[in-house]
Amino acid sequence: MSTGSLFDSEPTPSSNLRPKAADTAPLAERRRPRTLQEYAGQQHLIGPEGVLRRYLNAGRLPSLILWGPPGVGKTTLAHLLAEELHKPFVALSAINAGVKDVREVIDRARKQRGTILFIDEIHRFSKSQQDALLGAVEQGIVTLIGATTENPSFEVIPAVLSRAQVYVLEPLSKEVLTDLVDKALAEDEQLQQKNVRVQEYGALLTISGGDARKLLNLLEIVVESSRPDPETGEITITDDVVQQLAQQHLARYDKGGEMHYDVISAFIKSIRGSDPNAALYYLAVMLEGGEDPKFIARRLLILASEDVGMANPNALMLANSCFQAVTVIGMPEGDIILGQTVVYLATSPKSNASYKAIREARALVRQQGVQPVPIPLRNAPTKLMKDLGYGGQYQYSHDYPGNFAYQEFMPEQLTGTTFYHPGHNPAETKIQDRLRQLWGEKYGY
């Protein structure tokens, strides 16, 4: 458990965010921002019009869940928010903290209200551990900041979610990441001693995958492992050099580290690309590395709908059965069920048509707002509503041949709008033929 400055008379000074032992700390730690002005990215949250900036300007902060991919600054942002408000700060890691640790922090925080309690990887907390937070958060004994790479809707209990605001941290842009590299070379004391020129940024950015911590540590590995030009003394960073050195330093699978995200990405893309052999390999890598089988099953459940979809609707049912079976059976036998499901999904025809359809529909609602429901479709529980025509002229489909009656269901301004475009596979070709038979040219099927 790390207690930071929780019980000091003054909050930890911001300079402590960048270690004094710069000669031993990794580059990513040496370059950790000390102020919000140094913080890279997330301007939608901390920029002049950002929601967190408005809270800071008001001198207060609600409980937060920071959700985003690794290396985008969740932990650093939590530190800096506490610094900005001059609040005492305590940090716990859900990997090694238990209910006892949480209660100890809360008991001591009662003497110092306004304490910000940061919990890294809060999705790893069990229900009982998360329950231990509720009273203190609700009573204002602590302000909770949780950080997670997983969807909090699945991993954080509803009681905690209802007491905290969820904010999404976005992947860092190419411009932000490139700037991080340039500033590190120009400002870091150790790198300043070397004559380094970046000729190509592509491999640095691609291999790091938008993870600033991974990017800076990769940069340090490349610089330290490269031989200067014997004539100029210059170290030139090219894509070929980065790829060669990165491959040599590739770490074994660590379910809590960077490889976790690389392997799950390759796993999903292999299934999407209909390669059962590669998918099984990455499944084996994760299982041998001790990955949570329910995490894998949950990803398969999402993929079954997103990438297989209406090309094989049974895929979603099998993936759901897989999740339930793995939850009940556990390991080691759960690998049999996971393996079968992976092969089934990888060899299924693919379609993302329904996935794209709901994304387009939601985007339209956000853009145009909610349009009035046609009067024939409205509920009419009262006589007044019936008199106003609610529900009138509605044609009950089952009263018509083929259980279909040609009528308008869309709001008037959206008539004829098409969201679902069937994919090019046998199952959805049949669906398209049926829709064309029912609706004629109305939706362009």
Instruction: Write phi, then psi, for 92 (nearest 5 degrees).
Output: -125, 150
Length of the chain counted residue by residue = 445
pLDDT at 324 over 80: yes
The single residue listed with the structure tokens 């300079």 is: 15
Rg of the chain in Å (alpha carbons): 27
pLDDT digits (tens, 9 = 90+) for 362-374: 888 888 888 888 8
Integer CA distances (angstroms), 34 to 17, 80, 83, 373, 385, in order: 6, 7, 9, 52, 61
Q: Which of the four pLDDT bands, split at 50, 70 and 90, describes residue 317? A: very high
Strands in 64-67's sheet, in edge-to-edge order, are 89-93, 115-120, 142-148, 64-67, 165-168
Q: Phi/psi at 152 (nearest 5 deg)?
A: -65, -20
To 5 degrees, how large is the angle CA 260–CA 262–CA 265? 105
β-strands 64-67, 142-148: how paired? parallel
Amino acid identity for residue 394 in this structure:
Y
* Backbone angle region of 233, left / alpha / beta, with phi > 0 → left and psi within -120 to 50 → alpha: left
Q: Please give the full DSSP string across 408-419, using - where no structure is assigned.
A: --S-GGGTT---
Where residue 421 falls (left for φ over 0; alpha for ψ -120 to 50; beta otherwise) is beta
Number of H helices, E strands in the chain: 21, 7
Rounded distance between C-alpha atoms, residue 213 and residue 72, angstroms: 8
Which residue ranges make up each domain of the chain?
14-168, 174-248, 258-347
Question: Mean pLDDT, to the nearest integer, of 262-268?
Answer: 87
Q: Mean of the pLDDT values across residues 391-402? A: 79
Categorise residue 4: left if φ over 0, alpha if ψ from -120 to 50, beta otherwise: left
Residues 18, 216: Cα–Cα separation, whole Å: 15
Dist CA 431 CA 346 (whole Å): 22
Phi, psi of 119 (to 5 degrees): -120, 110
Which of 41-45, 150-154, 345-349, 382-386 ranks highest by mean pLDDT? 345-349
Nearest to 113 by CA among 139, 149, 147, 76: 139
SS3 content of the chain, % helix, strand, coil (to 5): 55, 10, 40
Return the amino acid letter for 233.
G
Q: Find the Cα–Cα–Cα–Cα dihedral 259, 262, 268, 270, rounded to 10°.
A: -100
Alpha carbon distances (Å) from 397 to 381, 394, 407, 410, 442:
21, 9, 10, 16, 18
Model confidence at 257, pLDDT cuts 50, 70, 90, reads: low
- From its phi and psi, is residue 39 left (phi > 0), alpha (psi between -120 and 50) or beta? beta
Architecture of domain 258-347: Up-down Bundle (1.20)
More confident call, 262 vs 352: 352
So what's the pLDDT on residue 348?
A: 94
Q: At what angle do helices 293-303 and 334-347 cross, to 10 degrees?
A: 20
**Residue 165 DSSP SS3:** strand
Residue 172 has pLDDT above 90, yes or no: no
CATH class of the domain defined by 174-248:
mainly alpha
CATH superfamily for 14-168 is P-loop containing nucleotide triphosphate hydrolases (3.40.50.300)
CB 161: neighbour CB atoms within 10 A? 16
User: pLDDT confidence of 2, banded at 50, 70, 90?
Assistant: very low
Question: Tell me, what's the pLDDT at 346?
Answer: 94
Which range has highest mean pLDDT (29-43, 242-256, 376-390)?
29-43
Integer CA distances (angstroms), 53 to 57, 106, 170, 252, in order:
6, 27, 16, 40
pLDDT band for 389, please (50, 70, 90 cuts): low
Q: What does the pLDDT read at residue 357?
A: 92
- Identify which of 120, 122, 207 has the alpha carbon closest to the alpha carbon of residue 160: 122
- What's the pTM? 0.56
pLDDT in tens, 69-90: 877 888 889 989 988 888 888 8
H or E segment to which residue 64 belongs = strand 64-67
Residue 243 CB burial class (10 angstroms; 0-12, 13-18, ≥19): middle
- The tokens of 142 are what? 């602590």
Q: Structure tokens of 74?
A: 């969740």
pLDDT band at residue 250 under the 50/70/90 scheme: low
